[in-house]
Amino acid sequence: MTEPFYELWCRQLFEHIKHNFSRAEPRLRAWKYLLSLADASADGRGSRKHLALYPGERRADGAQRLLTSAQWDESRVRADLLGFVTTRFGATGGTLYVTEMAFPKKGMQAAAVQRQFSVDSARQENCQIGILLFYEAVDGSLVLIDRELYVPESWINDAERCRRAGMPPGTAYRSKSAIAVDLVHRALAANIVPQWTLLSVLCPQKAAAQRALRREGLQHMVALTPSEFALTTRARDSRAFTVSYESRPGVPVSSAHAWRTPTTPHRARAVPVQQIRTASAPTSRFDVSYLADAGGGRRDDWSPGHFSAYTARDLAPGKLTETMGAFGRLAARSRCLRDQVGVDRYEVRSWRGWYRHMTLVMVAQTAMAIASTDRPPGQPAGRAAARPTGRSTGEGARRERVARERDAFLPLGRTR
């Protein structure tokens, strides 16, 4: 369901990024696309109808041009959006959360698609996999701030296939963990200073990612599979203790494989934790690692709750369990992206098409996150707002809306 103030905030955001669309037609088409994304869930999960269509249009050619051949730079839109996010929500004290999302596809022509494990369906299927970076601000707002498409090695080894999909020449293989680190580096370059960095991807190169995060001096926690956890518990110079941990009912619990609702009753239980002293610079505040088994001691492939953390030396045990619980909360909230905006509702197959679609999804999701505060743009905090009763219907309302859009998206520098 669309938030009442979504369109108002979406327009505010679009004013911030529309200079990247030099021509009127793609600028108006991008606006229509943003409005369509918010309403996409009403058409059903698999539907891709009505994205960025003008009244009377029946084909999706315009939307496909917007995502493929129209002249605009998705990287600049992403950078402008990130600047808006840090100004709006603040750049310090929040949490960076990196996760993966599967995009089921039919056929084998879409960029980077192959039969691979989907964290969403918990099975092998034909899909693309995107690595997504979310930022949870101090006030609890969660926004999608970056995205990268994971390209399997089978694609990298087939230069002709990459060329047909429109991938940049020289595209090299990067593991999911390497992509996650690159996303975090981009966030740091935008002056975001997180209190925690959380990583939940299915990838055997997590140790390299953890080393990179340590070099940046970032307090972080990584979700492990049971087999990864079993390997890393063979550590020296460690001490063991327990902390109290509670999984709340109805909250999906995250693991490196999947997220799902716990079937056992919620109750606080003792979680074994292993504290490991790690080498660090003399001036570093971060020199303690933890391994936590919140999965009840089970070692099956779907047991959630195995974590590796790198923290400040004076971290209280309660903060450790609080961050473990954040994985489940953020996993559930990030998966709501499918219901909030049409994240998987696109028909293009090209590399650039995926990035452009996800960039516009980021804009739509940010507007949705701000709109959920229930305040229209320009209204001071604490002042009651009249809640809109819903979007107007009827031919008169449609004509009004078309007129507003025509006035707002005339070519830059022109007036009616």
In the chain, the percentage of residues whose pLDDT exceeds 90 is 43
Q: Which of 44-53, 117-126, 311-320 has the lowest mean pLDDT?
A: 44-53
Model pLDDT, residue 416: 41
Whether the pLDDT of residue 197 is over 90: the answer is: yes
Whether the pLDDT of residue 228 is over 90: the answer is: no
Q: Which structure tokens are listed for 267? A: 């109750």
User: pLDDT grade, residue 415 (50/70/90)?
Assistant: very low
Give the residue from 248, 245, 180 showing the smallest Cα distance to 210: 180
Rounded to the nearest 10 degrees, the angle between the axes of helix 24-39 and helix 61-68 is 110
Rounded average pLDDT over 181-206: 95
More confidently predicted of 393 and 30: 30
User: pLDDT grade, residue 316 (50/70/90)?
Assistant: confident
Taking the C-alpha atoms of residue 292 and residue 344, their distance in angstroms, rounded to an integer, is 34
Taking the C-alpha atoms of residue 253 and residue 407, their distance in angstroms, rounded to an integer, is 47
Model pLDDT, residue 56: 53
Contact (Cβ atoms closer than 8 angstroms) between residue 40 and residue 1: no
User: What are the boundaries of each domain within the chain?
Assistant: 220-320
User: pLDDT grade, residue 386 (50/70/90)?
Assistant: very low
Model pLDDT, residue 187: 97
Taking the C-alpha atoms of residue 217 and residue 214, their distance in angstroms, rounded to an integer, is 5
Rounded (5°) CA angle 373-404-78 = 55
Highest-scoring range by mean pLDDT, 7-11, 276-280, 304-308, 311-315? 7-11
Model pLDDT, residue 53: 58
More confidently predicted of 36 and 287: 36
Model pLDDT, residue 339: 76
Q: Which of 129-133, 274-278, 298-302 has the lowest mean pLDDT?
A: 298-302
Whether the pLDDT of residue 34 is over 70: the answer is: yes
In the chain, the percentage of residues whose pLDDT exceeds 70 is 65
pLDDT digits (tens, 9 = 90+) for 254-265: 333 333 334 444
Model pLDDT, residue 38: 79
User: pLDDT grade, residue 76 (50/70/90)?
Assistant: very high
Whether the pLDDT of residue 299 is over 70: the answer is: no
pLDDT digits (tens, 9 = 90+) for 353-364: 999 999 999 999
Give the residue from 362, 356, 351 showing the smallest Cα distance to 150: 351
Model pLDDT, residue 406: 46
Q: Which structure tokens are listed for 242? A: 């327990």
Q: Identify residue 376 by its one-letter amino acid code.
A: P
Rounded to the nearest 10 degrees, the angle between the axes of helix 176-189 and helix 206-215 is 20
pLDDT digits (tens, 9 = 90+) for 364-373: 999 999 988 7
Model pLDDT, residue 311: 84
- The distance in angstroms from the start CA to the end CA of the chain is 35
Rounded average pLDDT over 131-145: 95
User: pLDDT grade, residue 2 (50/70/90)?
Assistant: low
Tell me which long-range contacts 4-8 makes (C-beta under 8 A, separation of at least 24).
Answer: 4/371, 4/374, 4/387, 4/388, 4/390, 5/370, 5/371, 5/374, 5/375, 5/376, 5/377, 5/385, 5/388, 6/38, 6/367, 6/368, 6/371, 7/35, 7/38, 7/391, 8/371, 8/376, 8/377
Model pLDDT, residue 303: 36
